[in-house]
Amino acid sequence: MVDGRKPLAKLEGRRRLRLSGVTVAYRGTPNLDDWVVYIVNGTRSKRLILADHVSERKAKTVLSRCQTLSRKEIEKLAKG
């Protein structure tokens, strides 16, 4: 039997924070708690994660909170 369901759409994007100059990327699936927000600047092995396995709302909240923080404060907020 052929399953006619489409795969869930993944969303991803990048945002450059004006005050700190840090580029933050996010990706996830709408209506699922699999969103991840991380700092792009840096090496792949040393990627700083701001939020992992969170809802879309929480991911967007983290992005908006980071807008007013300095680079040092954002790196302190990251899980590393």
pLDDT tens per residue, range 53-71? 999 999 999 999 999 999 8
Q: Rounded distance, CA 27 to CA 19, Å?
A: 22
- Tell me the per-residue pLDDT of 35-59, one tens digit each, with 9 for 90 and over: 999 999 766 667 789 999 999 999 9
Q: Rounded distance, CA 11 to CA 9, Å?
A: 7
**For position 44, what pLDDT does the model report?**
65
Instruction: Indicate whether 23 pLDDT > 90.
Output: yes
Q: How confident is the model at residue 5 (pLDDT cuts 50, 70, 90)?
A: confident
This prediction has a pTM of 0.82
Q: Name the region of 40 (left: φ>0; alpha: ψ -120 to 50; beta: rest).
A: alpha
Instruction: Indicate whether 2 pLDDT > 60.
Output: yes
